[in-house]
Amino acid sequence: MANEAIPNLTAFDEAALGKAFAALEAQAREAAAVLDGEAAVEAFRLEWLGRKQGRLNEVSGRWLKAAPPEAKKALGVRFNALKAVVEDLLDAALGGGPGDATADAALRAEAIDITLPGTRRLTGAEHPIPRTMNEIVAVFAALGYSVGVGPEVETDYYNFESMNFPPEHPARDTQDTLVVANQERKPLRDRLLLRTHTSPVQMRTMEQQPPPVRIVIPGKVHRNDAADATHSPIFHQVEGLCVDTNITFSDLKGTLDYAMKALFGSSVKTRFFPSFFPFTEPSADVQISCIFCGGKGCRKCKDSGWIELLGCGMVDPAVFAFAAEKQPAYDSRKISGFAFGMGVERIAMMKYGISEIGSFFAGDMRFLGQFA
Ligand code: PHE
């Protein structure tokens, strides 16, 4: 083993330092290359890194002390580099006898430690709104309904006029919304707005196909409603439309009664209250027996035993008349139909016992994670 004593340094310029440290490094490499057996490795360690007599200790003691202040920094840098080389050499020797010290160290740095815990990948979960929407759609799909969609930015014609809300009609006030700016030069019917309900897709569907029609329309809608625990200016609906010969109000009742039982459980009862929508006549609000108290009366149903859930009715002949402009087969003397529309958030809130509609849109993982 090379075992020259550490010479005294007299010059401390870059060149002298470079030469002195290179010589030491060469000695260390030479010694490390022939290490053979545990005892030799330990001797190498003591010789170079030993706390008291080690060569590196001596270098730092003698060279560093003798160095003029301006050379101390350069000397320190070289010292640390040499120390790293010696430590690598020792690591390599401990790891598996002679070898290329730096390559061995690199390999070990890359090695996989199979005892470390893995990286947990979070599994995604369907958001409760699309999930509920899909559930509702599936109930009707099983009855032979297909799925339709339409644009969220809708014309006044489809959202209002063809749904029998004439211009200036007060019923429009019940569905105030955002309208696209600077459209005054366009005729009213072509002006764009954010749709207030999914009903315009009734008309778009009828214009595309003659009867019979059985379709459900899931989608996002917008209204100028102040947000509170149960209202949000953006929400979702599932619309339904059934048109054929001899469709009656009892078909409507039977279909919705079946759908509510499929969604909320077979013990749920339904009842129909007279209501008004411009596009259906007669119109009804559907209530279901309170799923929280079974109809006995509780806080959720305001002690009435019933919860109002959706709007529906027989398609108004005026709506068929608009459809007949493109598809003459929508002749209200020959065909009839029913339509319904339900709020998805409201149904999801009931199904999952959620009291704040805002929870759906807040993006809080503690809330959403419950649906995983
Ligand atoms: N479009 C109505 C609403 O948003 C709901 C509805 C749809 C009522 C179809 C009757 C028939 O309030």
- Position 99 scores a pLDDT of 52
Q: What is the pLDDT of residue 2?
A: 45
Domain coordinates in residue numbering, the chain: 14-110, 128-371
Nearest CA to ligand 1 atom 10: 312
Q: Enumerate residues 6+ apart whose C-beta is below 8 A from 100.
A: 92
Q: Return the ligand 1 atom nearest residue 199 CA.
A: 1
> Among the atoms of ligand 1, which is closest to the Cα of residue 341?
7
Torsion of CA 260, 298, 294, 284, to 10 degrees: -30
Chain-centre distance for alpha carbon 140:
27
- pLDDT at 38 (0 to 100): 85
Rounded to the nearest angstrom, the distance between the alpha carbon of 143 and the centre of ligand 1 is: 20
Please give the Cα distance from 344 to 358 (Å, whole number). 13
Stated as kind and residue range, the H or E segment containing 217 is strand 213-222
Handedness of CA 42, 46, 49, 50 (dihedral sign): positive
Does the CB atom of residue 165 touch ligand 1 within 6 A? Answer: no
pLDDT at 244: 98
Residue nearest to atom 4 of ligand 1 (CA): 197
Contact 222, 233 (CB under 8 A): yes
Nearest CA to ligand 1 atom 2: 341
How many helices and strands (H and E) does the chain possess? 12, 9
* Whether domain 128-371 has CATH 1.10.274.10: no
Q: Which atom of ligand 1 is nearest to the CA of 312?
A: 10
Number of CB atoms found within 10 A of residue 28's CB: 23
pLDDT in tens, the chain (372 residues): 445 678 888 888 888 888 988 988 898 889 888 888 888 888 988 898 888 888 888 888 888 888 888 888 888 898 999 889 988 988 888 875 445 667 777 787 788 888 888 888 888 889 999 999 999 999 999 999 999 999 999 999 999 999 999 999 999 988 889 999 999 999 999 999 999 999 999 999 999 999 999 999 999 999 999 999 999 999 999 999 999 999 999 999 999 999 999 999 999 999 999 999 999 999 999 999 999 898 899 988 899 999 999 999 999 999 999 999 999 999 999 999 999 999 999 999 999 999 999 999 999 999 998 988
Write down the pLDDT at residue 3.
52
Predicted pLDDT of residue 106? 79
